[in-house]
Chain A
Amino acid sequence: MEEVKVKEVLRIEGLHKRFGALVVLDDVNFDICQGEFICALGPSGCGKTTILRIIAQLAHLDEGRIFIHGNEQITDGYLDDLSVVFQESRLLYWRTVEENVKLALELKRGRVSDRDEVVVSKALSMVGLLDFADAFPHELSGGMKQRAALARALVTEPSILLMDEPLTGLDLRTREDLQDEILRIWKEWDMTAIFVTHDPLEAIYMADRIIVLSDRPTKVKEVLRVSLNRPRNRDDHRIKELEKYIRDLFGYKKLE
């Protein structure tokens, strides 16, 4: 295999995090390269959300270092370059879908211009919600809410997209549709993506590399490269094999 020089976007070294007496992260290390799709896979409660919150500067780390483009200094520019999709859609219930998407721009820049109408429409059409621009969140299904949240994350044209189990709780069909859609957008927009999940199949289907996390106190158990060509076939036997391999890593313990 030829060695391609890839640019490192994010490196995490020796991450420790406690909540009181509860040690959640106990020396977590990994890195992410430019344009990569990374899945962080681990059992419920192992600290996946905590890792994302630390990366997004929503929580402090107790020990450890985060490097952005090889630089430890975290600038405002870094935050501008990053968007988060949460497990719950977190839409403002008094705003329509379109206004919710616009919110990200209003928050980031303080004001929106006429040109932004176009950007908002583009983000909405990207996730297939153009027809629902004037709907309120409570009028949407779970899948559509997540589409709206995705549009809100995309409208600022981030280069790093963090997703925290965005598809958990959706029915299988919606999940698979959205998985494909997220992959399509990631590819089209040339983003670096970190996607958190507790579902091995989802991780294998989506990721370039899977960061398998252990139970609490959490370490990186293994980093798996998924070298299947895209677009992947869900029925591919190698996906099944990888899934079995991952499930064996956790023994008989259920991941969910």
Chain B
Amino acid sequence: MRAKIFYSVFAISAFLVLWFVISGYYNSPLFPGPVETAYSFFSILATPDGWYQIGVTCYRVFVGTLLGSCVGALCGILPRYSKMAEYTVRSVVYPLFESIPSLCWVLIFVVWFGLSDMTPILAITAAVIPFFIINLWEGVKELDESLIEMAHTCTRNRLRILRKVIMPMLYPYAFSAFKTSFEVAWKVVILGEVFGAACGIGYMLWISYEVYAIEYVFAWTLCCAIIIIVFDYGLFNYIDRRYMRRWKR
């Protein structure tokens, strides 16, 4: 444990030193070093507006992922109940969302919705849908039919069986879909905000870039990285250890 922490600290310090040395060598405003970046980063955090921009982006990631999870989960589970749904998802829905690049969605939504929340949110939704479909398909394939049969001896209410037996069996698959989707959503939201929003981290990145405030480009990038790391290592790890243990056999 001690050794692990030591190596991590060592690697991070080495990275910072390297960054410091190289940026010092070029000594150009186009390549800010760790000190300038940190300074800009904290000046962002020092203003309410900075937090507002971060909040707006988080909100879009949240809503977009949630929307995508609903649509994706439906498309993943419905094929179990209907052949029609299976072929619709297999030959239209999945290929559609799987194959279209996020930038295309962004451009289309800008045309339709202009600079609004809708553009980044729907771009995220479109981007994460295939992850939910593919994961839940996998889960539906792996469903333990013997447990479902047992449930059928207790009730004829299929909705109850879905809620009490089938959906819990799919939780681990939904969870890993959420994990992947969250990372993807952060990449897509920046794209969406650069082209299709009037606020948010992506928008701030774009403005900083337009006025050549590269240290702010770096600082906003750092914001993204930190949020992703906090969520991935912190939140998802926590949920995994706290709630998903029961599902590991």
Contact = CB atoms under 8 A, between A and B. Distances in A.
Interface of A: 56-58, 76, 79, 82-84, 86, 88, 90, 92-95, 103-104, 106-108, 110, 136, 138, 156
B115 interface: no
- B interface: dominant SS: helix
Nearest to A99: B246
- A interface: dominant SS: loop
Contacts of A107: 151, 154-155, 157, 160-161, 164-165
A92 B164 CA distance: 10
Contacts of A103: 151, 154, 164-165
Nearest to A156: B154
Contact of B146 (A86, A104, A108): A86
A108 B153 CA distance: 9
5 contacts: A57-B152, A86-B146, A95-B246, A106-B164, A107-B154
In order of increasing CB-CB distance, the 10 nearest A-B pairs are A107-B154, A94-B246, A90-B150, A107-B155, A84-B153, A94-B247, A104-B154, A108-B154, A56-B153, A93-B249
The residue among A83, A103, A107 with the most chain B CB atoms within 10 A of its own CB is: A107
Interface residues of B, number: 20
Given A106-B160, A107-B161, A90 B146 contact: yes
Contact of B152 (A58, A83, A88, A136): A58
A93 B247 contact: yes
B16 interface: no
Given A110-B157, A136-B246, A138-B249, A90 B152 contact: no
The residue among A90, A108, A138 with the most chain B CB atoms within 10 A of its own CB is: A90
